[in-house]
Amino acid sequence: MSVAMQIAQLHTQFCEKTVKNTAKYPLMAQDDQWPSPCEFGDVDTQGNIQWKGVQQSPAGSFADLANALELSFPDGFNEFYGYMYGGSILASIDGHHVELLQAWNKDDFEMLQQNMTGHVLMKRKLKQPETLFIGLTAQDDLLVTVQVNTGEVCLEYVGKKPHHVLAPNIASFLKALEV
């Protein structure tokens, strides 16, 4: 199954589990200045709006960024961020709770590319292998990253080299996740 289809499936599973547990779809703070095509329904009394992942059209691409950084991004990376708009997906793997980052809207996708550029440049400055971030953990400084040279999905502390391999590639990582 392609990474795009796996991401779509994870969005569906996450939404279904959230509905089952809360009787609502996942919630996001609603912001008139930051709308998303995945928002639906009315804003609740706490200022939150329900969301469910929707396919990006056209699909987002990191090809220009990869060219600018003179890198080849690992298989599945474009699809991980460029296939769906949505909020973060909460899941677990190998005993680790992770929050998979996703683009909320087109502007968020652009901002994600800027942040990714800063991350890669930081890794170069530290003379460490380049990685791309795809998620967060419960620890503020522990990221889920993809190693550019191997495609392995790893845990890495900010400013440090990856220290624990979660999966050999993005597709295997997504397959192993429990929502």
Per-residue pLDDT tens digits for 35-75: 999 999 999 999 999 999 999 999 999 999 999 999 999 99
**Cα(120)–Cα(39) distance, integer angstroms:** 31
pLDDT value of residue 94: 87
Sheet holding 89-93, edge to edge: 89-93, 96-100, 131-137, 142-147, 153-157, 164-167
Q: Give residue 140's pLDDT.
A: 87
Which residues in the chain land under pLDDT 50? Answer: none
Question: In angstroms, what CA-CA distances link 165 with 2, 19, 61, 92, 148?
Answer: 21, 32, 25, 14, 13
Contact present, 83 and 109 (Cβ < 8 Å): no
Average of per-residue pLDDT values in the chain: 96
Write down the pLDDT at residue 67. Answer: 94
Domains of the chain are 3-176 (3.40.1580.20)
Kindly give the pairing relationship between strand 27-29 and strand 48-51: antiparallel
pLDDT at 77: 96
Phi, psi of 131 (to 5 degrees): -130, 165
Q: Is 76 left (phi over 0), alpha (psi -120 to 50) or beta?
A: left
